[in-house]
Amino acid sequence: MTRVEEPTPPVDADAQEGALADAARAEADPGDAGAHADTLGAYLRVWWTRVRSGDSGVLPVIAGLILISLIFQSLNSKFLSSGNLVNLLVQGAAYMLLAMGEVFVLLLGEIDLSIGYVGGIGAIVTAELVKQSTGWPWWAAILIALITCAAIGALQGTIITRLGLPSFVVTLGGLLGWQGVMLLILGTGGTVPIDNHIVVDITSGNLTPLASWIVMVVIVAIVGARMWRNESRRRASGLVAPPAVATLLKIALIAAAGIAVVLVCNTNRGRLIAIRGVPWVVLVVLGVLAAWTFLLNRTRFGRYLYAIGGNAEAARRAGIPLARMRTAGFALGSLTAGIGGIVYASRINSVSTSLDGGTLVLYAVAAAVIGGTSLFGGRGKAIHAVLGGLVIAAIDNGMGLQGYSAAADKVVTALVLLVAVAIDSIARRNAAR
């Protein structure tokens, strides 16, 4: 969260910024750096060496998710039922989206404490515009809501970068200020119901079982084709890349995960009427995940974010426009929070003053960190937010099934967060040796 003045352009800025961004990307995705192996056995040995040295990737969060699932399943046989698993996905969608917004800011080595109530503002704008007395089409209401949220993020980012104020202080002010704006719009104890069926169906609607299979096949085919093409090009160019069999194995694992999700979602989970199919909100989360993964991994903007978070002073000397990039990072974080807020409101069919933006932002930060995003900047991915959000939702859901209090829920979540931060700190220490 250090403040750095605007850069003095170096003599060879393009070359320096490219080298710096590539180095930052390699640091943020060490999997590529250690993946050079000709056979699957050699690849696995390299992978295990990286894990032992502290570069465990998403392994801890996946192991933690499996452990949490086994514990709650042993306590309550309904935890891994199809109905509860789908409910868990819907329940965790808002956490995942808010956490993906927080990842943009954490990558910069900053933090955004206002993201929960900014999401609430997005939900209020949408609810106000789609209600019958206003009559806006749903797509226009959502568009205006997201523009509003992005503008809020840009405003806070501008204050942070241009005035040199700590992001903690500015966004803490945002947390209080945007909560106040919500209260002003809603009034004390006020509620704005959402009666637009499209907005409600974001979390309540489902694809048909056949459409679920078709969408899954298309997604796996696109992801698999891109992965195969990219890693084949790297192998053909003599760059570090996993062997072909490892690439096929990763594609097979993605396909297996997709089949498992569709099988669970297509199982009837209704009591009076049949309810089957993948919820729409799952596609929303996957769409945002794909967009932000592409932005962070395949664009100059994404490489700049990693470079700034990894070493802001070096990025400044390389000619990267720190203020502009940081402001854009805050704007994208708030825009994603707006999507999360709309999903949250869709699940409860309304927006009210009971929206706890303080808890939502804590869950968002916790989900990003539990998933593997570093609090120290320069390391993190959108998928980390999704995995971390699943962990948070699993704890919330499992504790609810057991009838534990909200206090116990928060204590368990805090312990999981502490373990995640400890793993991150140990990994960084081992990597520095």
pLDDT value at 430 more than 70: no
Amino acid 372: pLDDT: 85
Amino acid 42: pLDDT: 79
More confident residue, 128 or 24: 128
Amino acid 64: pLDDT: 84
pTM: 0.87
Mean pLDDT of 322-328: 94
**DSSP bridge pairs for 350:** 193
pLDDT tens per residue, range 204-256:
999 999 999 999 999 999 999 999 998 888 888 877 778 888 899 999 999 99
Where does 131-236 have alpha helices with state H? 138-163, 167-186, 197-204, 209-236
Nearest in space to 398 (alpha carbons), one of 62, 71, 43: 71
Amino acid 371: pLDDT: 87
Amino acid 419: pLDDT: 78
276: alpha, beta or left, given left = phi > 0 and alpha = psi -120 to 50? beta
Amino acid 145: pLDDT: 96
pLDDT value at 11 more than 50: no
Q: How confident is the model at residue 2 (pLDDT cuts 50, 70, 90)?
A: very low
Amino acid 102: pLDDT: 94
pLDDT value at 30 more than 70: no
**251 and 180 in contact (C-beta within 8 Å)?**
no
pLDDT value at 126 more than 90: yes
User: Between the ranges 14-23, 57-66, 385-394, 423-432, where is the mean pLDDT highest?
Assistant: 385-394
Amino acid 403: pLDDT: 84
pLDDT tens per residue, range 243-271:
888 899 999 999 999 999 999 999 988 88
**342 and 122 in contact (C-beta within 8 Å)?**
yes
**138 and 196 in contact (C-beta within 8 Å)?**
yes
Q: How confident is the model at residue 6 (pLDDT cuts 50, 70, 90)?
A: very low
Amino acid 379: pLDDT: 87
Radius of gyration of the chain (CA): 22
* Residue 265 CA: distances (Å) to CA of 72, 182, 208, 392, 404: 20, 35, 10, 20, 27
Whole-number mean pLDDT of the chain? Answer: 86
**113 and 175 in contact (C-beta within 8 Å)?**
yes
**69 and 79 in contact (C-beta within 8 Å)?**
yes
Mean pLDDT of 359-379: 87
Query: CA-to-CA distance for 275 and 170, rounded, in angstroms?
Result: 45
Amino acid 356: pLDDT: 83
Amino acid 118: pLDDT: 95
DSSP 80: T
Nearest in space to 341 (alpha carbons), one of 140, 120, 158: 120
Mean pLDDT of 317-323: 91
Query: CA-to-CA distance for 105 and 1, rounded, in angstroms?
Result: 10
Q: How confident is the model at residue 43 (pLDDT cuts 50, 70, 90)?
A: confident
Helix (H/G/I), strand (E/B), else coil: 191: strand
pLDDT tens per residue, range 127-171:
999 988 888 999 999 999 999 999 999 999 999 999 999 999 999
**94 and 360 in contact (C-beta within 8 Å)?**
yes
pLDDT value at 51 more than 90: no
**374 and 106 in contact (C-beta within 8 Å)?**
yes
